Amino acid sequence: MNNSEILFVYDAHLCNPNGDPDEENRPRMDYPTQTNLVSDVRLKRYIRDYLQENGHELFVQKGEAGKTVNASERIQAVLGQKKAAKLGDEELQTLLNKLIDVRLFGATMPIKLEGKGQSIAFTGPVQFNWGYSLNRVYLLDTKSITSHFSAEAGKEQGTIGKDYRVKYSLIAFHGIISGYNAKNTGLKKEDVALLDQALIKAIPLHATRSKVGQEPRLYVRVEYNSDSFVLGDLRKWIKFSPQGTNKDDEVFSVQNVKLDITSLVEKLQENRAKIQQVKFWKDGALSLVGALDALPNGSPLAF
């Protein structure tokens, strides 16, 4: 398999893209730069949830409500009640064949093989940096909410809690698919096609109360013609600018956004000899400067 690089852009409007448990679940922020942050773990959770709900078996998956599943129990369930403490190469291959999230993201499994240690680690071929906002992000001034239920019996008033949300955040992720690591997990072309689909579809389909208001806006996957070349973080070559306003603090929706991909298109054109294909998708509400049709060996994704 060849290397690929991913640019994924989505936005968040009046919601909390990724709460920080160390900050009363406020949206993750770098306050000196007013940059909203989203962890790679949050993004992978969207992908896993989408794959699980579409019938794919996972190593890390949601259990029944109120129940936790440890890694050994999960391996036993996948293998059909075989003990997970000591397995052979055949059982290990069965796990890789069945578990798409291990093929994508890797895993550390508590399995002892002959002549090896107490666990097996697979480095996932698909990895993401933390996402960050392309615009300066501001939190809503109002943050207190009330509940009809009191915290203690006998009290007449409901409880007051905190609900922190961003006004608007245009978030960009960079990811890489390593052709070298794909050999170790058995990643298939069909898995990569499912990853394309999951990134575009998962976020709006898995909205919770704090996550309603998020929409995918742009997806680009550059597949190179070898497993020994990458350009690096594709976010370096895109530029955000407010549309119809000169101030980031007046950006309140995708209608106020313009994304310039001219430098990205030029960079990919300069390296077209190293590119096998470019898959892309854009939401109709996003205004672009630069043409996706000019991407080398480009073809649109449709689901």
Which tens digits make up the pLDDT trace of 131-159? 999 999 999 986 555 444 455 555 555 55
Phi then psi for 161, rounded to 5 degrees? -125, 180
Q: 177: Cβ–Cβ under 8 A, 6 or more apart, which residues?
A: 1, 3, 4, 5, 6, 125, 126, 187, 192, 195
Least confident piece of the model among 84-98, 141-155, 200-214, 216-230: 141-155
Query: How confident is the model at residue 152, as a pLDDT?
Result: 58
Integer angstrom CA distances of residue 42 from 6, 19, 50, 143: 16, 10, 13, 23
Select from 199, 224, 164 the least CA-distant residue to 15: 164
Q: Domain residues for 157? A: 4-300
Which tens digits make up the pLDDT trace of 105-128? 999 988 766 556 578 899 999 999
Least confident piece of the model among 89-98, 134-143, 168-177, 231-240: 134-143
240: left (phi over 0), alpha (psi -120 to 50) or beta: beta
Least confident piece of the model among 90-94, 165-169, 277-281, 284-288: 90-94
- Domains in the chain: how many in total? 1
